[in-house]
Amino acid sequence: MPTVLLVRHGHSSANGEGILAGRLPGIHLTDRGREQADLLAERFRGLPVARVVSSPLERCLETAAPLAAAVGVEVTVDDDLQECAYGAWTGRPLAELAKEPLWATVQDSPESAQFPSDERYAAESLRAMSDRVVASVRRHDAQVAEGAGDSGLWVAVTHGDLLKAVLADATGAGLARFQSYTADPASVSAVRYGGRHTFLLTANDVTPDLTRFQPRPDAPEAVDAAVGGGAG
Residues 8-38: tens digit of each pLDDT: 999 999 999 999 999 999 999 999 999 999 9
User: How much is the pLDDT for 63?
Assistant: 98
| Higher-confidence position of 226 and 39 | 39
Beta carbons within 10 angstroms of residue 61's beta carbon? 18
For 20, 146, 174, the CA distances from 199, given in Å and listed in that order, are 31, 19, 15
Give me the domains of the chain, ranges plus CATH numbers.
3-84+125-210 (3.40.50.1240)
CA–CA dist 89, 120 (Å, integer): 11
- Mean pLDDT value of segment 73-86: 98
- Three-state secondary structure of the chain: CCEEEEEECCCEHHHHHCECCCCCCCCCECHHHHHHHHHHHHHHCCCCEEEEEECCCHHHHHHHHHHHHHHCCCEEECHHHCCCCEHHHCCCEHHHHCCCHHHHHHHHCHHHCECCCCCCCCECEHHHHHHHHHHHHHHHHHHHHHHHCCCCEEEEEECHHHHHHHHHHHCCCCHHHHHHCCCCCCCEEEEEECCCCEEEEEEEECCCCHHHHCCCCCCCCCCCCCCCCCCC
Handedness of CA 170, 174, 175, 178 (dihedral sign): negative
Residue-wise pLDDT for 182-204, tens only, equals 999 999 999 999 878 899 999 99
Q: How far apart are CA 87 and CA 65, in angstroms?
A: 28
Q: Provide the percentage of residues in the chain whose pLDDT is more than 90.
A: 84
**Whole-structure pTM value:** 0.93
Total residue count of the chain as it appears in this document: 232
Q: Which of 51, 50, 55 is nearest to 10 (CA)?
A: 55
Q: What is the pLDDT of residue 223?
A: 60
* Window from 25-29, 150-154, 224-228 with minimum mean pLDDT: 224-228
